Structure 1
Amino acid sequence: MNIEIITGDITTLQVDAIVNAANCGLLGGGGVDGAIHRAAGGALLAECRAMVAGLPDHRGETGQAYLTGAGNLPCK
């Protein structure tokens, strides 16, 4: 296993995936989550809105992982 530490703007990296600690609303906000949403564009927001609409109480569960596409981000 190779682990590489990179400093910089996570939204510009050509990587396989970005793991983000989002709030339960999954709709972006401040900090890293907001930066990811802004860079990914409307496709990520639309996908998250649709996902949240199908969840109990229309919120993600704390500690649960949710998989989305990358929108406009240069990652897979």
Structure 2
Amino acid sequence: MFERERGRGDTQIQTDRQSYIKDSTKKKKKKKKKKKKKKKKKKKRKRKRKRKKKKKKKKKKKKEEEEEEEILI
């Protein structure tokens, strides 16, 4: 059997593969981080809306009570 001479190409392929693996893991981590951020944002928005609704309800109730008082007077 004859041996093939190892040239620069072989190492290049190896380093390309390593960088590809590195990049793919980086991409996965980035995607995960993005997903987490999106989830957090969604939760924050939901909380904000809930609080707003509560405030609106409170304001409405207060207004109604004031109107009732005016009617009584």
TM-score band by shorter chain is under 0.3
Indicate the structure (1 or 2) with the bigger Cα radius of gyration.
Answer: 2
Q: Tell me the TM-score normalized by structure 1.
A: 0.22
Structure number with higher relative contact order (C-alpha < 8 Å, ≥ 6 residues apart): 1
